[in-house]
Structure formats: structure tokens, C-alpha cells
A and B are shown apart, each in its own frame.
Chain A
Amino acid sequence: MRQARTSVLLFVLVATACTSYKNTDKAETQLAFGSAVAKKGLWREAAFRYEQAIVKAPDNAHAHNNLAVALEANGDFARALTEYKRALELDPNNNYIRRNYARFAEFYTSYTKSSGKAAGAP
């Protein structure tokens, strides 16, 4: 009897853990899944998940920040800038978002700045 109870408890715990990503109608789930795949370098999938999170919770600053990072990793810098700005608008005091934005701005400025002239240019 005791053994059976333990087994049931064990099954319930594992089942709960394994289905935690299945609750896809929640923004948090998409966000968590997006971050899990982002850490593995799967930035396109991560961007998709973060976009889904934003659809479900448009005012979630974390989702906008994460989407900006994913877009940056995918080379879509103009959209990343928009997303960073939106994230900061929603949570202006968040130090992580501010730091991300500052580093991105530094990179983006130098990326868009054209310093040299083409050889033979008039």
C-alpha cells in the first residue's frame, strides 16, 4: 500500500515536470521555453517563442527584451532596437534591460557608422 502511494506520488511529480512546457497558452511558458532554446544557440526558435509570448502578454518587458536579444543574434538589428526601446519603456528601471540596451546601442552605432570611403570613389 505504502509502496503504491510512493509510486503514484513519483508519477505525478514527473508528469507535472514533463508537461510544464505543454501549457503553451501562457506567456511565461513561451518565455521559459524560448530562453531554454536560446541558451542552446537556437535563436530563430527562441525569437519565435518570444514573439508568441508577446502576443499573449504585449506588456511583458522581459519578453520584449528577450526578443530583442534573439533578433540581435539573428542579425535583425533594426527590429532589435525597436524591441529594446519597448522593453525599456515598459520597465525603465530594470538594470539588465538597461545594460543590454546600452551595449546594443554601442554596437549598433559603430555598425551603422560608415567611416571609410570606397577606393576610387569621386
Chain B
Amino acid sequence: MLPRRAVALLLAASLLAAATPAFAGVDQVKLRLPLKPRLPLRGNERIALAPFIVVTDAEKAKDKRLANVDLQGEFHRFLKKQLEKKTKFDIVITPADLKLPTQNLTDLAKDREFWTAVGAQTTSEIVVSGSLEFKVEDRSGYKTEEYTSPIDGRTYYRQVYVEQTGFLFDIVFLVFDGRNGEKLLQDEFKDFRQLSSRRADELQGLFENLFSLENQILNTFVARDREAERYIFGN
């Protein structure tokens, strides 16, 4: 049993600790910082989602897993849903029979006539297109890891086989003025995710990529915010 005095001192010390301001030096704090929209829009424009050049099409023959993914359809669906949910734009998807005049991104960006026609056909002030690339990579292999032996307590290094799948998503965004076909913005978003399984589902990987890019994609059209960390001093 502790003597009474010791108990009193202990109590005092704990009260002191609770009541004293944080003189402990440096603290990391989190702030929400605003991100201006990349495009200065009113917020109620009609936006047409035109087809994107799918860069991975040529590889579908080689990789059966990519053949299961309708990249164009999934991306359009994702983009439409997010824009409708988080903005006040009127979103339309261009008719299914609309074909891009070229599969070359540079030429596509310059084709003002085509984009004016798309704008007129869909009565949209803004037309969105670009290119999409999605890659599934088997990242399985031997990796070195530290191992502490329960027998002698010493640390050794050992080779372990780790099954991992990597998902790479690369979007080039082209935004056109639907009234004159002028290119308003070109931007690229990239994301790489790694899942710990050799046969990780490709759609799951695709959506992991898309959700991590969501803020950046939406920031093209509307203001967003992001978390930032800073240091403050307590004394």
C-alpha cells in the first residue's frame, strides 16, 4: 500500500499534467485546403462524355484478364455517376455509334471540327474525351524480409515468395468547348495500386485506381479540398 503522501503527490502530478498547456515542442496538425477547379465553369453546363481512346485495346489479345474489363463503359459510368452526384452539371453520354476520327491523341486534340459537331449534336457546352490505359501486372516474386529466430533470438534475412498484383491506370483528359471545338484543358492522371494476391480481381483493381483518382478528376470541373499536414510550435 502506497503512503498517503505519495498518493497525494501522484494525484497532483497527474492534475498538473492535465492542466498544463502543451509545451511539448512541435505538433503535426491537419488542415483542409481548398483546390480551385481547373476549369472556370459556371457549374450548370451541359457536359457530353465522348468516347476515349483505349490504349490497352491492343494488349487485350495477350492478357485474358483485360478482355473481361469494359474500360470505356466502366469509366463513363463512373465519371457520369460522380459528376451527377457531386456537381450540378447536366451530364450526357454521346450516342454509342459516335466514332472517334483518329486513335492518335495529338490529332484528336486538334480536331476542332469534330468537337464542334459533337457539341452541336449533343447540345453540350463542354465535351470530354481523352485516352484510357489500364494495365494489370503480376508483381509476384521473392522478397527479402527480416526474421527473428525464436530459438536463438537473432535476426536473419530470408527470401519469401510474395503474391501481388499491380494495377496501373493512366487517364489523359481532353476537355473541349462544345461551341467552337477549342481545347480548354489537357491533363493526365495516373494511379498505381498493389493488391496482395496473385489473382486479384481486375475490376476491383480498376475501381481502387478510380476511387483514388476521384478527387483529382472532379477537381477538373468543381472546387474540392484536400488534407494537408503542417507543423506548429507549442512554445
Whether B230 pairs with A69 at a CB distance below 8 angstroms is yes
Select B177's contact among A7, A39, A43, A119, beta carbons within 8 Å: A119
Mask: chain A, 103-122; 1 = CB below 8 Å from B; 0 = not: 11001001100111111100
Min CB distance A40 to B, Å, is 10
Whether B230 pairs with A119 at a CB distance below 8 angstroms is no
Whether B15 pairs with A32 at a CB distance below 8 angstroms is no
Once the chains are docked, how many angstroms separate the CA of A33 from the CA of B22?
8
Min CB distance B218 to A, Å, is 14
Mask: chain B, 1-29; 1 = CB below 8 Å from A; 0 = not: 00011001101110110111111001101
User: Is B95 an interface residue, CB under 8 A from the partner?
Assistant: no
Whether A116 pairs with B184 at a CB distance below 8 angstroms is yes
Whether B234 pairs with A31 at a CB distance below 8 angstroms is yes
B144-198 CB contacts (< 8 Å) to partner A? 175, 177-180, 182, 184-185, 187
Residues in A neighbouring B125, C-beta threshold 8 A: 119-120
Min CB distance A69 to B, Å, is 5
Mask: chain B, 216-235; 1 = CB below 8 Å from A; 0 = not: 00001000000011111111
Interface of B is mostly: mixed
Select A21's contact among B13, B21, B33, beta carbons within 8 Å: B21
Number of A-B contacts (CB under 8 A): 132
Min CB distance A24 to B, Å, is 12
Most buried by A among B12, B179, B229: B12
Once the chains are docked, how many angstroms separate the CA of A62 from the CA of B29?
15
User: Is B38 an interface residue, CB under 8 A from the partner?
Assistant: yes
Whether A120 pairs with B234 at a CB distance below 8 angstroms is no
Mask: chain A, 1-24; 1 = CB below 8 Å from B; 0 = not: 011001101100110111011000
User: Is B36 an interface residue, CB under 8 A from the partner?
Assistant: yes
Interface residue tally on A, bucketed by range: 35 or more
Min CB distance A17 to B, Å, is 4
- Chain B residue with Cβ nearest A100: B230
Whether B179 pairs with A35 at a CB distance below 8 angstroms is no
Residues in A neighbouring B229, C-beta threshold 8 A: 103
User: Is B39 an interface residue, CB under 8 A from the partner?
Assistant: yes
Whether A116 pairs with B39 at a CB distance below 8 angstroms is yes
Once the chains are docked, how many angstroms separate the CA of A112 from the CA of B175?
21
Whether B12 pairs with A14 at a CB distance below 8 angstroms is yes
Once the chains are docked, how many angstroms separate the CA of A120 from the CA of B32?
32
Q: Residues of B at under 8 Å CB distance from A?
A: 4-5, 8-9, 11-13, 15-16, 18-23, 26-27, 29, 31-41, 45, 125-126, 175, 177-180, 182, 184-185, 187, 220, 228-235
6 closest A-B pairs by beta carbon, nearest first, are A17-B19, A62-B233, A116-B39, A32-B21, A96-B231, A13-B12
Q: A31-B235, A35-B232, A119-B178 are in contact. List 15 more A-B contacts (CB 8 A).
A: A13-B12, A14-B16, A17-B19, A18-B19, A21-B21, A29-B21, A43-B31, A73-B31, A100-B230, A103-B229, A104-B230, A110-B35, A114-B36, A117-B185, A119-B125
